[in-house]
Amino acid sequence: MRWWLALVVCLVASVTLAAEEPRELLIGGRTALATLRLPAQSRPDMPLVLMTHGTLAHKDMETIQGLSKALAERGIASLAHNLVLGLDRRTGMYDCAQPHDYAPDDAIEEIAAWLAEARKTASRIFVLGHSRGANQLARYLVANPKAAIEGAILLAPATAGIETSLKAAYAESYGQPLAPVLDKAEAAVSTGRGGDWMSVPGFIYCRNAKVTARAFAAFYRADRRQDTAALIADVSVPILVLAAAQDNTVPDVAASFAPLAARAASRVLLETIDDADHFFRDLAAEDAADHIAGFIAAAR
């Protein structure tokens, strides 16, 4: 009897392992990590969603992992990847004590590389980004207008309003004004010294950080591309924007994207999930997965 139970346990474990597979890619000289999650029953026309996490986060965070599992239950595969953020084989949340040398545009190359990897598994590819990851995904879409993807999902995307407010609050958050630090970073970049290291009072969510001039300037300079809604205005693929009614991190998602969604023959669909916060936990992940599954079905 015991051998039979052991055999069952081994079979169940093997099924679990087959449904969730690690992936690695060498991108820009660094090894990037991802997890491929497949539904229990795959089919030839199975859709796959490439998932990009938010600021300083990772593929195994609850938002990404919970949504990935919910999609698998609906017959949708996913490939969730870690942005390298200048590190080799990066896992978990970015440690603020680490030096920072990365910029939003770095994600464009990484998303392209993972899309090529995704096509080895499925032919129907969709892309998803959460929070600032959604903005980085929008930058990829603008830079690659002919990319072979069927649609994009922006989950609680970063907005122009939130980026402006974070810059305005820099002095309150870190005790020193932003302008002198940004001027120093921009001066280094303009003279070809973007790789110079700076000690700054704060960078993104990290206090007393060591950061390259190029990284600091990229995050804090005035840049129209920080407006995700403006970026996707002319993107040709269908786009689903999911706003969270209880989002205290990016509270203006619905207001920012409503004008785009209201356009005649708009390719932007805006949906608000009532009980969700910025991270779409628990039942909110199920609701988001339902919306995404419907969006994917409509794209056929």
d(CA 6, CA 3): 5
Distances from the Cα of 98 to the Cαs of 34, 90, 216, 279, in angstroms?
Answer: 21, 12, 14, 25
Give 10-residue mean pLDDT values along the chain (300 residues). Answer: 43 51 97 97 91 98 98 97 98 97 98 97 97 98 96 98 97 98 98 98 97 98 96 95 98 98 94 97 97 95
> Can you give the residue ranges of every domain in the chain?
21-159+227-298, 161-225
pLDDT at residue number 10: 42
Q: What are phi and psi of 39, to 5 degrees?
A: -65, 160
C-alpha dihedral over 148, 79, 69, 134, to 10 degrees? Answer: -70
The DSSP letter of residue 225 is G
CB 117 within 8 A of CB 78: no
- Residue type at 298? A
pLDDT of residue 6: 41
pLDDT of residue 17: 39
CB proximity list for 193: less than 8 A, separation 6 or greater: 213
Tokens 């690695």 belong to: 24
DSSP string, 89-138: S--SSPPTTS-B---TTHHHHHHHHHHHHHTTT-SEEEEEEETHHHHHHH
In the chain, the N- to C-terminal Cα span, in Å, equals 49
Residue 200, pLDDT score: 98
CATH architecture under which domain 21-159+227-298 falls: 3-Layer(aba) Sandwich (3.40)
pLDDT at 5: 43
Note whether 80 and 35 are within 8 A (CB).
yes
Q: Which residues contact 275 (CB under 8 A, 6 or more apart)?
A: 245, 246, 283, 284, 287
- Cα atoms in the 13 Å half-sphere on the side-chain side of 44: 0
In this structure, what token pair is assigned to residue 170?
């820099």
Please give the backbone phi and psi of residue 197, each rounded to the nearest 5 degrees, phi first.
-90, 140
* CA-based torsion, 116, 118, 123, 126: positive or negative: negative
Going by the DSSP 8-state scheme, the letter that residue 197 receives in this structure is E
